[in-house]
């Protein structure tokens, strides 16, 4: 049986994987990182649910909830990286994603780009944990978010991210 606190050996890997030191802490992604905040709207057009990932215990801040995402590969654009990570981690087809904006968190030595998106018209998204980086990936209603332990940076940014959805 796999050890829940040790990363498996069969993870997706590329040259952007690694830690960047930023003052007294560190961030994952030698070239920065990106993630996808995918939202499903209700019949009135208001955001109703988002795809969230329950992070594997062995990962940085494991056991918290956030969005699918990770390190950017060399020369990879943040939008491309976020869509790649969402495919790898949550089985989300990039064709089912309609990007509406981005939010960039900038540190002196590192950036994280959140790609904010809706489910594209005519598409249905059924997210699932597609690799060992997740305990679970699912739609989470906006009214349920307060009951989850969020990745701290994601929880802090969430009001601003939701404002990008109009």
Q: How high is the pLDDT of residue 126?
A: 97
Q: How high is the pLDDT of residue 95?
A: 97
Q: Are 83 and 116 in contact (CB under 8 A)?
A: no
Separation between Cα atoms, residue 40 and residue 52, nearest integer Å: 12
Q: How high is the pLDDT of residue 1?
A: 43
pTM for this model (two decimals)? 0.85
Residue 161: in which H helix or E strand, if any?
helix 152-163
pLDDT digits (tens, 9 = 90+) for 64-88: 999 999 989 999 999 999 999 999 9
Separation between Cα atoms, residue 164 and residue 166, nearest integer Å: 6
In the block, residue with structure tokens 């990962």: 59
Other Cβ atoms closer than 10 A to 67:
27
Separation between Cα atoms, residue 89 and residue 56, nearest integer Å: 11
Q: Is the pLDDT of residue 17 over 80?
A: no
Q: Is the pLDDT of residue 145 over 90?
A: yes
Which one has a higher pLDDT value, 88 or 106?
Answer: 88
pLDDT digits (tens, 9 = 90+) for 32-59: 889 999 999 999 999 999 999 999 888 8
Q: Which two tokens stand for residue 18?
A: 């690694």
Q: How high is the pLDDT of residue 21?
A: 73
Q: How high is the pLDDT of residue 130?
A: 93
Residue 153: in which H helix or E strand, if any?
helix 152-163
Q: Is the pLDDT of residue 118 over 90?
A: yes
Q: Which residues contact 77 (CB under 8 A, 6 or more apart)?
A: none
Which one has a higher pLDDT value, 22 or 159?
Answer: 159
* DSSP-assigned letter for residue 148: S
Which one has a higher pLDDT value, 153 or 54?
Answer: 54
Separation between Cα atoms, residue 84 and residue 99, nearest integer Å: 14
């Amino acid at each position: 049986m796999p050890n829940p606190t040790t990363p498996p050996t069969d993870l997706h890997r590329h040259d952007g994987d690694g830690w960047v030191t930023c003052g007294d802490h560190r961030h994952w992604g030698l070239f920065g990182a990106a993630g996808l905040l995918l939202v499903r709207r209700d019949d009135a057009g208001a955001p109703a649910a988002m795809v969230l990932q329950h992070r594997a215990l062995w990962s940085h801040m494991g056991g918290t909830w956030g969005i699918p995402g990770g390190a950017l590969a060399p020369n990879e654009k943040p939008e491309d990286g976020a869509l790649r990570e969402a495919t790898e981690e949550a089985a989300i087809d990039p064709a089912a994603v309609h990007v509406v904006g981005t939010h960039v968190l900038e540190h002196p030595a590192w950036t994280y780009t959140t790609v904010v998106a809706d489910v594209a018209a005519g598409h249905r998204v059924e997210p699932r944990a597609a690799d060992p980086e997740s305990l679970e990936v699912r739609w989470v209603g906006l009214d349920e978010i307060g009951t989850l332990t969020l990745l701290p940076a994601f929880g802090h940014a969430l009001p601003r991210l939701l404002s990008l959805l109009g």
